[in-house]
Structure 1
Amino acid sequence: MSALRGTLRRVGAPQEIITTRRPGYELDVAHGVRVDVVDFRAAQREARGFVESGDLQRALSLMEAGLRLWRGPVLSGPGSQARQPETRRLEEEYIALRESCSDIQLGLGMHEEVIAGLSAFVEEHPLLERPRAQLMRALFESGRRADALELYHSTAELLREELGVVPGGDLQHMLEVVLAESPETSRKPPVAFRASPSGGPEPGVPSLRQLPGDLPEFVGREEELETAVAHLARPEDVRAAPVAVVVGPGGTGKTTLAVHIAHRLHDVYTDGQLYVNLGGMSGNPLSPHEALGRFLRDLGVAGQAVPDSLDDRSALFRSLLAKRRILLVLDNAGDAGQLRPLLPGTGSCAVLVTSRVRLTSVPHARVLELDVLGQDQARQLFGRILGADRVSAEPEAAAALAEYCGRLPLAVHIVAAKLASKPHWSLRKAAARLADERRRLDELAHEGLEVRSSLELSHQGLEPQARRLFRRLALLEAGDFAEWVCGPLLDIPVDEAEEVLEELVDARLVDVVSPPGSDRTRYRMHDLVRLFSVECLEEGEPQAARTAALQRTAATTLALAGLAHRKVCGGDFTVIHSRSVRPPVDADIVERVAADPLAWYEADRTTITSLCVQAAEHDEDELAWDLAATSRCLFSIRFHFDDWQRTHEVSLDATRRQGNKRGEASVLLGLGDLHLTRRAYDVALPLLRRSQELFGEVGEHHGRALAQRKAACADRVQGRTAEALESWRLCLPVLEEAGDLEAQAQVLRWTAQTLLELGRADEAETSLLAAERMAASFAGRSAGQVRLARGDLALSRGDLAAADENYRRALEVTDRLGDRSGSCAALLGLGTVDVRSGRTARGRERLEKARADARAIQDPLLELEVLLSLADAWERDGEPGEARSLLTRGAELCRRIGAASRLERFTAALSALPPSRPEQRAALPARP
């Protein structure tokens, strides 16, 4: 991709012509780019239109233009093995166009052009019979009878040696023409049987009612049922047969639905229904050649009259169906190649297909995706089999059973059938047996029905690498995952791993759970599929390989979290890392994260947390505590307190088990910071003090200074401002020596804000200017926070214009970073400026929004600041009662969180209000 981009740059193409878009790259053809496969297919479509209108010369010109686009093997570069289905599909389209082009050339008498075009083609595709028959005809009709006979004999020898078969109908027909020395152009297939005048089969033809029986307990799928019936029962269209493809994972009831649909269409397709199980996911799928043989015999063709070649069988099959109303049910198709030879040629018939694979290339197909049942549908299915009374007697147990079955129709059917055979069992007993994940798949088996066998059918068709990925995905405990985790799980580049993952998606062992068109695709395994994956992992993966895969994935997650942290904070600041060696990370993964680190974090937060927990549980304490510490900034900026606490608590246990004081100190720093953010100062302070002690014991001066600066924040809020200022003064030289720019900027800003609260504005400005210079040297979160402090300074001096400007610029920065706390503080500042400028109505509107935001992010300290400004707004509007109510509420909140310094401000504000009168208090509306 890098080489391609370089080539495009050299020819002057714009950079945005190729963009990264999950799951790969997107080429923007709006810039005049020509794509060969797009042009090729466009030529095919246009040529088909001209053939239908009778303009063969125009059609031929387009076909030749399309064929000239082929300059070698298709998709032959890196990763070509994983692209085999696309390769086969394109090659089949090329072959079909080549044959159509030769047909038109022969019809126009262009024999020399056919000879020139097909001579090399038949050498490249030696086993294709039809092009050889076309070449024979061209040679013969151009007077080269001996060459035509030689081609036939060499072809017969090749087919006998390679395939053990004789030439098919097209070649044999041309041999008869050449031997009879009578040139002709008709190439009709041999007539195998004669249709009756009514269009039905001759007397003695077997019945074509081949459908399996409909199930009386069929439930749900109403929308899919009506859609399929409407699509397949449309008025006869001689141009194309309608096709409905029912797609879904194993056990979702595809065959059941298809049979039910087919029975509904009994009166529409009056000449019968043909049914075949193609066994597409089995180790021995039914070939189109064999399936056509069965169908032709079912249609009354005598065994000896069934043609040998696939093309001739398909042509005869289409001829026999041309004037009949027959529904074909093709169950369990493996791919589109297995289907195409079986499709009718006219709209008098219809086709209903089931498959675990999305067959999007089947012509005129309507695809119906099946998922698991809803809870009500699962309960209804239980009721149909067990009886409604038995289900309604134990509704909670029935609901639990449905969830243990993952609401998979096959699993629900098995459990219901087992309970029906054991009337002495309660539903509660069955639920208790299924509750144990280790034996759940064993329980989901009854009288030949088995969920495990259904899953194994999909599993056995996978390539070895896909089986390995399927096993190792069981290592992930997150609910869903992104494609990038597959690279470290397999220890291969991420682009190769994505192709392997797509094989699992195609096999319906992994589901795509993100909405269509999403930039960040997410994947998930059904619960029962995951249990099967765990079994495969335990049976087929050595413990050492499991450990190594999990370590690689956790280490990659750590590297990506570190990258996101550096992007947000402007550098690798305010974090103490472990000293373990980190493996290199795939550059393509890094590129994806770097484009939008916070979006990556939001998508993969559960992966970060679950891998941190797993690393801790496996005593990978260095990896666990580093991942927790590195992610702390991300947890903080998005206020994901539960993940913050979970990762740090499990890491704390792991470091203590291993006697890892440095790791323990780092985790205590993170936990203390969490409780500071939650404004639980009495909980935070002991943790931060202990972190300082441990960092001191191991000689980690940078870590000790980081813990000390956070402890000083608690001192400041609790009214010990002198101690806070002194601690920050002592921290600065250590942070400077460590090169921690972010921490230095924070300390300088906090110092400035504290001095400003003490009324020492000039000293505050000196510290704030230093913080501003520091923050300007890196691109991070501090830029917005310093702007907020500049706004506070201007506001304290009465410079409302400067305050407004700084708050607006702070809001731009914080919104861009997704810093909800900073955005809330900027909104508070802008509302306060409005109030002091006399725009109290707009000011209250902004402040109420800021108050709601502060509550949403659980920041009582910010809420206190908003309450002060709101009270000021109401007092200025002549509503001291409203102001008193807000200030009283704020004072109560100060006492609850132990914010002594803030309590002094609320007490002073309350004292400054005019005394309230009883009638004013009575007039105040009740507030929650």
Structure 2
Amino acid sequence: MLSTGSSGDSLLELGLLGPLEIRVDGQLLDISAPRLRTVLGTLLLSPGRTVSTRHLAESLWEDDLPADPANQVAACISMLRRTFRQGGVSPELLVTRRPGYQLMVGAGVRIDATVFRELQEEARASSRADDPRRALSQLKSALGLWRGGVLSGMDCRAWQPEIRRLEEEYIALREHCSDVQLGLGLDEDVVTELSVFVEQHPLLERPRAQLMLALFRSGRQADALQMYRATAELLREELGVSPGEDLQRMHKTMLRGTADTPAAKRISRERTLVPHAGSFTDPYGPPCQLPGDLAEFVGRREEIDTLRSAIAPGSGTVPVAVIVGPGGTGKTVLAVHTAHQLRRTFNDGQLYVNLRGMDSDPVPAEEALARFLRELGLSGAAIPDSLDERAALFRSLVAGRRMLLVLDNAGDARQIRPLLPGTDTCGVLVTSRTRLTTVPNAHVLELGVLGRDQAHMLLCQLAGKERVEAEPDVARELVEYCGRLPLAVRIVGAKLASKPHWSLRRAASRLVDERRRLDELAHEGLEVRSSLELSHQGLSPQARRLFRRLALLAAPDFAEWVCAPLLSLSVLEAEDLLEELLDARLVDVVTPVGSPRARYRMHDLVRLFASECLSETEPGVERAAARRRVAATTLALADLAHREVCGGDFTVVHGLGSRPSVSEDVIRLAAGDPLDWYEADRSTITALCAQAAEHDEDEIAWDMAATSRCLFSVRFHFDDWQHTHEVALAAVQRQGNKRGEAALLLGLGDLDLTRRLYERALPLLERSRELFLEVGDRHGYALALRKAACADRIQGRTTTALERWRECLPILREAADLEAQIQVHRWMSQTLLELGRDEEAEGSLRVAVRMAESFEGRSAAQVHLAQADLRLARGELDRAAAAYETSLRATSRLGDLSGRCAALLGQGTVDVRRHRIARALERLGQALDLARSIQDPLLQVEVLLSLAAAHVAEGRRTKAFVLLTEGEELCRRMGAASRRERFTAALADLAGRSPDIGQATGIAGRQVE
């Protein structure tokens, strides 16, 4: 009893079955403050139990918690106590109980929800005592307590599970009441009461069936049949399904003029089900709750076979198959289609429940079990209260029976474990957006988008085959705009079917604009955006933030490290959030087979949804900052990989702007193998470079392109090299950034050199040199000058090349660019060697060797090659062979394919000199294959020359002639005059030895220069 002080004892009535209502001795107590009403409502939903401060705070503020939620909740409790005291109620009603607060219940407190449940129990007891009229009176009293929706007028996401549970109890009680009324012959009462109820709950089939039966019995056959037609149309429009079997059978029987059917009996009276020895009896046939199958189901043949095999009964354990996939991939459609195919296998019945696992109010396991038990014949009074008891009873009822359960839209394993049968005669099909790895005996089937042919077939079935085949190219566009997502294709197909005057081209034109695409992918209740929103709303606030910002990435896929700079978090924190997105199927893993590094990707439509969320939620300045952090981190990692290849920060010009700080834990990810990082994240480099250029962030764009040039070179990624430099060049030219322009022209000229396009390369390098001189960058000037000298050398201007290299060496020493100096000395040595100036060549090479002694970069291996070339020219075959072997090992370690090719060429040439022709042909054949694979014509001509020599030594002059001819043509295309002279001389020598060589090879008319 709660004392109210001197006035004696009072009755406190608390109402939540409708708007929140507080009465003291019948008088309303006004509590108008929204926060106080929310706190009281939260406590009322758990009377007599401690509610944590955290839960109260989440009820008040949801995700946007204040800095001191505990203090603010305590203030609300204090104000409530004060309000109760002023209303004559003892403040002892609310007590502090760690970790929160408790609403005390006792003789002086009456809560309508508690009374409602007590009356339910009394009605069940009356039903068990075979006293239906007393049960009806108690049911009417319980239903009379409802004044509207639970806590109506107040919106709190944290309340939804308990509110849903109460509302489901109300629905079950309403159905129970109608059962009792029909059993007592009170058909008119059912018509009066259910007519309003079905309007309020239009998608519930059972109350509609009860109303149909009551109408039929009341002599209103036409109204009963009209009710069926309205129900069928409603279910088709809202859910895309047909009425259940009970309704269909009753409809057919009513058409014959009688409602005396098993289906009617199932509805018109409570069924008594007696569990005994693991079996049950239901004289009215097996239940089938499956939604209707889709006539236009296509494809998925392999997946269906997998599911049928996975849930075949008789394996010794309960067979469970879990269909996992993102929203819109057709998980439910596949499960229902497969379940219909298995009805003969599971001939004791098929049970279905939509668990709404991603909704804010998922179906609790207790509620799902209650539905199953009622469908299996139990009256409401016979259903136990506790979850464990319901689960145990359910297992007993289906034991030994061939029953199929379809558990649709499961949120997590906890939601479905209590629903699992206990014997292997049953089968379970589960659909979920998360991998339920802790479900016993589960076979998980990952469901992705449709194949192109399957998506095209679905479009044909929905829009019409002739119509689709009349515009085949446009049909393919439509399917790709939909990302081959079944839901999206179904929407487009349905929209076309409803608009026969539309061409496919018109439909496609409405999907071209990405900003409108999600708006267009909606039709008659089907909507891609709402499907994605279900997954999105279940994320934590930080995971939502990551989801939004992933839309900033322009790359087709990404690595987990990208998430850290997007959010300014540590790698581990960001990885946890990424896993949350994976669990929600908003991100997919697309790691290539055999790759040690995971890669991730967003479906195109998911990315559009994320982009919408981003633009609606975050201001442009925050988006730009996140994008710059990712670009800066990518640049730092590319710089790390560049240093690995070059042995330090050499042969590159960087931007002058200050670089943003980069998280050390991200850097550590790539430090172990920077080149492996580069191979995995090359697409990230190119995409972010282009993105920075697009946003006129020219400094970071050109810095990223220039820093990555050496990486592109060593891995022969010429397309990436050209793309990054060209888009960054456009950006620096828009901004008038001459230093950036000079660096990018240097890179493009170097690319043409690498591709052996010397005539194109030289003007670019000359312009780069001029610009560097104009802006006063001596290091950049020297780098451009040394590359221009390389073009001079190949085009036969060796004197000019040597002069330019001598000019740039002092500047490179001044800049402490060790690798560039090594390269220049090596190139000078090779050029002098070609000119026959062996002593000078050895002097230059000696300097390069000394510089490279403690050097770990690419140039060190190239110096070994130059040493081997010099020893080969001097006839020191043993020393040359050893140097080539050393170089081969070094280039293989660095992944330097051109260096490896040159080492194999050198080894093969040594073998030719030693007359080991078979071994020479093997090595030179490998070198030629490698030179062709990396598309290096200069290396190809060097290998062709040695191969021709090997064939001449074996007497195969015709083969040698063909090889020399190929090499000379390559030299002509490159404009490599000095190389071409060597081939011309070799051809002339070969023709002089064998006058009939032209006729023997079929090219007798060829003129040898």
Q: TM-score, normalised by structure 2?
A: 0.72
Q: Deviations over 1:450-477 (max 9, x none)?
A: 1111111111111111111111111111
**CA 1:275–1:886: 2 relative to 1, 3 Å:** same
Contact 2:278 2:396 in 1 (8 A): no
Offset of residue 387 of structure 1: 3.0
Q: Deviations over 1:369-412 (max 9, x none)?
A: 11111111112112222333222222222222111111111111
Matched, 1:682 2:762: no
Contact 1:278 1:333 in 2 (8 A): yes
**CA 1:417–1:771: 2 relative to 1, 3 Å:** same
Offset of residue 507 of structure 1: 0.7
Contact 1:662 1:695 in 2 (8 A): yes
Q: Which residue pairs with 1:130 in the alignment? A: none
CA distance in 1 between counterparts of 2:474 and 2:975 reads 48
Matched, 1:593 2:670: yes
Q: Which residue pairs with 1:603 in the alignment? A: 680
Which amino acid is the alignment partner of residue 214 of structure 1? D
| Greater displacement, 828-837 / 908-917 | 908-917
Contact 1:792 1:829 in 2 (8 A): yes
Which amino acid is the alignment partner of residue 734 of structure 2? R
Q: Which residue pairs with 1:621 in the alignment? A: 698
Q: Which residue pairs with 2:274 in the alignment? A: 194
Offset of residue 755 of structure 1: 1.0
Q: Which residue pairs with 1:28 in the alignment? A: none
Q: Which residue pairs with 1:209 in the alignment? A: 288
Q: Which residue pairs with 1:893 in the alignment? A: 970
Q: Which residue pairs with 1:233 in the alignment? A: 312
Which amino acid is the alignment partner of residue 476 of structure 1? L
Contact 2:313 2:426 in 1 (8 A): no
Which amino acid is the alignment partner of residue 673 of structure 2? D
Contact 1:196 1:202 in 2 (8 A): no
> SS in structure 2 opposite 1:693?
helix
CA distance in 2 between counterparts of 1:517 and 1:589 reads 23
The correspondence for 2:617, drawn from 534, 540, 562, is 540
Q: Deviations over 1:60-99 (max 9, x none)?
A: xxxxxxxxxxxxxxxxxxxxxxxxxxxxxxxxxxxxxxxx
Q: Which residue pairs with 2:773 in the alignment? A: 696
Offset of residue 516 of structure 1: 6.3
Q: Deviations over 1:340-374 (max 9, x none)?
A: 11111222222110001111110011111111111
Q: Which residue pairs with 1:102 in the alignment? A: none
Which amino acid is the alignment partner of residue 312 of structure 2? A
Offset of residue 826 of structure 1: 0.9
Matched, 1:706 2:783: yes
Q: Which residue pairs with 1:781 in the alignment? A: 858
Matched, 1:552 2:629: yes
**CA 1:196–1:593: 2 relative to 1, 3 Å:** closer
The correspondence for 1:757, drawn from 822, 828, 834, is 834
Contact 1:880 1:916 in 2 (8 A): no
> SS in structure 2 opposite 1:772?
helix
Matched, 1:632 2:712: no
Q: Which residue pairs with 1:295 in the alignment? A: 372
CA distance in 1 between counterparts of 2:853 and 2:708 reads 24
Q: Which residue pairs with 1:337 in the alignment? A: 414
Contact 2:957 2:990 in 1 (8 A): yes
The correspondence for 2:559, drawn from 482, 487, 509, is 482
CA distance in 2 between counterparts of 1:199 and 1:242 reads 20
Which amino acid is the alignment partner of residue 584 of structure 2? A
Residue segments in structure 1 that go unaligned for 5+ positions in a row = 1-122, 128-153, 170-191
CA distance in 1 between counterparts of 2:743 and 2:908 reads 38
Q: Which residue pairs with 2:303 in the alignment? A: 224
> SS in structure 1 opposite 2:440?
coil
CA distance in 2 between counterparts of 1:708 and 1:126 reads 75
CA distance in 1 between counterparts of 2:432 and 2:281 reads 30
**CA 1:777–1:675: 2 relative to 1, 3 Å:** same
Q: Which residue pairs with 2:918 in the alignment? A: 841
Matched, 1:658 2:735: yes
| Greater displacement, 721-730 / 391-400 | 391-400
Offset of residue 299 of structure 1: 2.2
Which amino acid is the alignment partner of residue 461 of structure 2? R
Identity %: 66
Matched, 1:525 2:525: no
Matched, 1:411 2:491: no
Contact 1:314 1:341 in 2 (8 A): yes
> SS in structure 2 opposite 1:351?
strand
Which amino acid is the alignment partner of residue 303 of structure 2? E
Contact 2:722 2:748 in 1 (8 A): yes
Q: Which residue pairs with 2:72 in the alignment? A: none
**CA 1:236–1:732: 2 relative to 1, 3 Å:** closer
> SS in structure 2 opposite 1:246?
strand
Residue segments in structure 2 that go unaligned for 5+ positions in a row = 1-96, 122-271
Tell me the matched-pair count. Answer: 753
Matched, 1:737 2:817: no
Offset of residue 666 of structure 1: 1.2
Q: Which residue pairs with 1:108 in the alignment? A: none
Contact 1:194 1:202 in 2 (8 A): no
Contact 1:418 1:446 in 2 (8 A): yes
Offset of residue 436 of structure 1: 2.2
Which amino acid is the alignment partner of residue 259 of structure 1? V
Rg (Cα) greater in structure:
2
> SS in structure 2 opposite 1:475?
coil
Matched, 1:376 2:456: no
Contact 2:647 2:858 in 1 (8 A): yes
| Greater displacement, 566-575 / 647-656 | 647-656
CA distance in 2 between counterparts of 1:713 and 1:388 reads 62
Structural RMSD (CA): 2.8
Offset of residue 888 of structure 1: 2.9
CA distance in 2 between counterparts of 1:311 and 1:253 reads 33
Offset of residue 207 of structure 1: 5.5
The correspondence for 2:337, drawn from 257, 260, 274, is 260
CA distance in 1 between counterparts of 2:114 and 2:863 reads 82
Map of 1:237-256 to 2, 5 A cutoff? 237=316, 240-256=317-333
CA distance in 2 between counterparts of 1:678 and 1:288 reads 66
Contact 2:275 2:396 in 1 (8 A): no
Contact 1:279 1:286 in 2 (8 A): yes
Which amino acid is the alignment partner of residue 626 of structure 1? D
| Greater displacement, 288-297 / 883-892 | 883-892
Matched, 1:646 2:726: no
Which amino acid is the alignment partner of residue 220 of structure 1? G
CA distance in 1 between counterparts of 2:483 and 2:459 reads 14
Q: TM-score, normalised by structure 1?
A: 0.78
Contact 2:348 2:403 in 1 (8 A): yes
The correspondence for 2:689, drawn from 612, 616, 620, is 612
Contact 2:752 2:760 in 1 (8 A): yes
CA distance in 2 between counterparts of 1:126 and 1:272 reads 46
Offset of residue 914 of structure 1: 4.6
**CA 1:608–1:385: 2 relative to 1, 3 Å:** same
Matched, 1:581 2:661: no
| Greater displacement, 294-303 / 687-696 | 294-303
Offset of residue 555 of structure 1: 0.4
Offset of residue 794 of structure 1: 1.1
CA distance in 2 between counterparts of 1:875 and 1:909 reads 11
CA distance in 1 between counterparts of 2:933 and 2:106 reads 80
Contact 1:245 1:352 in 2 (8 A): yes
CA distance in 2 between counterparts of 1:873 and 1:534 reads 62
Map of 1:450-461 to 2, 5 A cutoff? 450-461=527-538
Contact 1:881 1:916 in 2 (8 A): no
> SS in structure 1 opposite 2:551?
helix
Offset of residue 197 of structure 1: 8.2
CA distance in 2 between counterparts of 1:334 and 1:703 reads 59
Contact 2:753 2:761 in 1 (8 A): yes
Matched, 1:564 2:616: no
Contact 2:742 2:771 in 1 (8 A): yes
